[in-house]
Amino acid sequence: MAAGGGGDAVAAAMLDAALYGSDDPSVILTYAWDRLLIDPVPGPRGPADFTDLRHLTPNVFAVPGDAQPIAPAGSTLPRLAAELPNTFALIDPRHGATGIAHQLEELLTHLKPNSIDLLDVGGDILAQGDEPTLKSPLGDALTLAACCQVDAPVRLLIAGPGLDGEIPAGDLRDRLGALVCTLTAEHTAALGTALDWHPSEATAMLAATARGVRGLCEVRDAGLPVPLTDEGPSVYEADLDEALSRNELARAIATTTTLDEAEQHSRDICGFSEIDYERNKAAWLSDHTPAQLDPEAALSRLDQFEADARTRGITHTTFRRITEALGFNGAQRQDLRDLLLTSHPEQYEAPLWRITTSTSPST
């Protein structure tokens, strides 16, 4: 189960291969929640937002490779399903934590799995809810609350402590249990080329650290610095009940039956709703015309961005960060990425972009 959707689903596919091998790929239960870089519609998508879904149970749908998001919605799940061997099943949060728990129970009855893992990249699922750096607690809190309601053992796994840029790794150390595994470059091979196009920043950094990349990576529209350390590729187990006891939002939304109700609890407890943030940003984007992707101008702005980043001690960044910092939108991300890889292929430290140590010509 991918705790927050998006990149957690990609990381789950990598961890599945690392822990269980590739002979019998796991079913990954995940949100379709790709944020505004991919999906211009705020919040998570539900079954009605896709064509050609396949019933696994009465209330759980698989997203096959030939499914399509219905415009204007967008989603990375169909492409992931087409490229990876796992089955991706859709979390539908419209009925709150109670509805997700019912979905999970149906899936467990249908699959009779040997193990159930709840995976969060970064570890913000272990937050209390009042941390000033917390940005996206709602999805994790819903899945945590749901998993604590099912009559089956669920193992909570934290991959890459601190890599989501929300709760620093040092603050999480006493909340982590045993080391489960350390991901390696070999494990990232299970993802094929998915990280070449998927926008997840936390999972990109997880894969990069597994491949040996170290430094300081700048992410998100706000330019948060995230350390890439030897602890980056580590996967730990955490106590599920302790996580629920600590996570005030997860406890509050345990009996919710609608997403609106859960979202209001987030406003009350955390002081914000991440879906409100997406609504506000979507409105802002609709009123602003993105810059034209002129190669010469884009590379000039890249030089300035990198010069500024060096003064902040930044060694790497993500293509999402570059896209937004240079004034482009999600639809232009792939074209910008292609331009950068053609112009400066030596700076691609897959799947991150390496900031050069000194200014170099762009053309």
Q: Mind listing the pLDDT tens digit for each residue in 41-72?
A: 999 999 999 999 999 999 999 999 999 999 99
> Where in the sequence is the domain holding 176, given as residue range(s)?
7-259
Dmax (CA) of the chain: 60
Query: How many CA within 13 A on the CB side of residue 261?
Result: 16
Q: What is the rounded distance in angstroms from the CA atom of residue 12 to the CA atom of residue 30?
A: 10
Structural domain includes residue 266: no
Query: Does any domain span residue 274?
Result: no
- How, if at all, do strands 54-57 and 60-62 pair? antiparallel
Examine the domain organization and report whether 236 and 158 are in the same domain. Answer: yes
Residue 362 lies inside a defined structural domain of this protein: no
Is the same domain home to 229 and 164? yes
Residues 232 and 303 in one domain: no
For residues 240 and 314, membership in a common domain is answered with no
Range list of β-strands (E), 152-198: 155-159, 179-182
Query: Does residue 32 lie in a domain region?
Result: yes
Same domain, residue pair 331 and 221? no
Q: Which structure tokens are listed for 354?
A: 């390496």
Quick check: is 145 in a domain? yes
Residue 229 and residue 313 in one domain: no
32 and 165 fall within a common domain:
yes
**pLDDT tens digits for 91-122?**
999 999 999 999 999 999 999 999 999 999 99
Q: pLDDT tens, 220-259?
A: 988 999 999 999 999 999 999 999 999 999 999 999 999 9
pLDDT score recorded for residue 358: 66
* Residue 216 shares a structural domain with residue 306: no
pTM, rounded to two decimals? 0.95
Domain count, the chain: 2
- Tell me how far the alpha carbon of residue 286 is from its chain's centroid: 24
